[in-house]
Structure 1
């Protein structure tokens, strides 16, 4: 997180653009711009600005937006609800589709479905999210008008409207990850399907379905969980594109708006928040290893 904070701080401060100029507008006088830069501390050397901000962060203060004068922490939590809803629904799509698909393909591994699945998963991983989102919006939002093409309804307004507005964007966000998880689980299961312990289970009279679920699938969970953990954290980054395309007021949209406004504290706070979630999710995945594999123990 420290490395992320340094890189992001340097990138946004070394990129051309002046928050004071954007806030005051094109008609502002040079004197007014210089005065606002002094108020915002933008005239200080970069290393002083960075360490001042870092001292704030260590106390839990992510700073104040130079655009709205609101605390960055409040802005993040106010916009995290739509992003969290989008992530949860996308994760459900990933689990519901990828796991049964991988198990089915492994059970039919000697048929033509296996190479078809391999090609389809590679195609799904290769398609850019923004391009796929535009195609689905044109198909299901403009041509057939099944789903709304923009907007968000909070869960407090009702489960139906909330789900209706999030189905299309969450499916787009999940589609690329579905191919990755299904392919990873399928490959891991194929590595175990002809091992000695599975042959022994079959020799004892265990049905093929039970062999796949009790032995092969269970042993394939650890590498798949590793990829799934990275996927869950990666969904948060993917919401930046999806929220922009579907006009969802989450932290992804907040980040894009802050970049346009050159709102340095909000950009730094949002990226650091995303990095913190990424670290936390990977920590939880590490703990899950001991649950999935009894041979793993942490001292």
Structure 2
């Protein structure tokens, strides 16, 4: 297990290097001059050239890339062109709202998807089965931005039950924090509930008629115990993979949701930085999201060994 973990950690380096190359090229080949945006339309060409020299934008692109890579290996993601603050500090200031939104969304997803899947398997071969299939497909197909706008108009404007903008830290009160995040968290969760519930339900249906479950029933074990102890535990392996991908994918979903609900998280930071052509922040945020994605995939692979003792990585 230790050797496998070390190998996977080492393999992260080339993955992040490839991501950094792609991000750098996309950012720097996109039309737009940060110096021009900072100084404004009335700025002189001499002033723009001087600011470009101060920001290091006058260097050849290859030299800018190698300077950035060299700084990354020393833990320095550079400084924001817009605020002159270290990129690492800017990202860390926005991590709280994004991770709060992700955790609440994931909690809602699991609290709804897992009991729903278990109940549908328990009531299999009834009218619930096609209803569940249709509902899960609809949920997985709903565009997040469209669903978010519907909830904003319905529960924030027409019937003002929930706030539709802003963020309150959990330090100012749990219920206030929960109240401000429940609507955007539900939007993120709605798309993932159908996917996870469908995967868990399919895995349980595959295991429900296996020989070991028939043996348990023949011994007089109650159906509820068979479902939870034998069927549910064996369906966790493929479902864990989907959950891991979902957790990582929520970071991408927050870009849209944070913009709609004006949550000052990493997603909102990325959108603002794109508008400002803040190259270091864009590169740092994308690299941070990629690192979280890779680490979560590694944790999911390691979790397999705990869920199924038959899995060995030696």
Q: Could you report, residue by residue, the CA deviation over 1:218-240 in whole angstroms, capped at 9, with x for unpaired residues?
A: 00001000110010011111111
Question: How far off is 1:66 after superposition?
Answer: 0.6
* 2:6 matches 1:9: no
The whole-number CA distance in structure 2 between the counterparts of 1:243 and 1:51 is 32
Which of these residues, 292, 305, 309, is aligned with residue 290 of structure 1?
305
Q: Could you report, residue by residue, the CA deviation over 1:176-230 in whole angstroms, capped at 9, with x for unpaired residues?
A: 0111100110111111111111111111111111111111100000100011001
Moved more, 42-51 or 134-143: 42-51
Once the two structures are superposed, the pairs formed by residues 92-107 of structure 1 within 5 Å of their partners are 92-107=107-122
Q: Could you report, residue by residue, the CA deviation over 1:48-86 in whole angstroms, capped at 9, with x for unpaired residues?
A: 111110111111111000110000000000011000110
Which of these residues, 82, 96, 110, is aligned with residue 81 of structure 1?
96
Which residue in the other structure is 1:71 paired with? 86
Structure 1 stretches of 4+ moved >4 Å:
none
Once the two structures are superposed, the pairs formed by residues 1-299 of structure 1 within 5 Å of their partners are 1-299=16-314
Q: Could you report, residue by residue, the CA deviation over 1:216-270 in whole angstroms, capped at 9, with x for unpaired residues?
A: 1000001000110010011111111010000000011000000000000000000
Question: How far off is 1:298 after superposition?
Answer: 2.8
- Structure 2 runs not aligned, ≥5 long: 1-15
Question: How far off is 1:40 after superposition?
Answer: 1.4
Question: How far off is 1:43 after superposition?
Answer: 2.1
The whole-number CA distance in structure 2 between the counterparts of 1:155 and 1:297 is 40
Which residue in the other structure is 2:3 paired with? none
For 1:62, what is the secondary structure of its paired residue? coil
For 1:149, what is the secondary structure of its paired residue? coil
The whole-number CA distance in structure 2 between the counterparts of 1:132 and 1:185 is 24
What is the TM-score when the length of structure 2 is the normalising length?
0.94
The whole-number CA distance in structure 2 between the counterparts of 1:65 and 1:215 is 53
Moved more, 195-204 or 100-109: 195-204
Q: Could you report, residue by residue, the CA deviation over 1:247-294 in whole angstroms, capped at 9, with x for unpaired residues?
A: 000011000000000000000000000111111111111111111001
How many residue pairs align between the two structures? 299
The whole-number CA distance in structure 1 between the counterparts of 2:37 and 2:215 is 70
Q: Could you report, residue by residue, the CA deviation over 1:109-148 in whole angstroms, capped at 9, with x for unpaired residues?
A: 1101111111111111111000000001111101110000
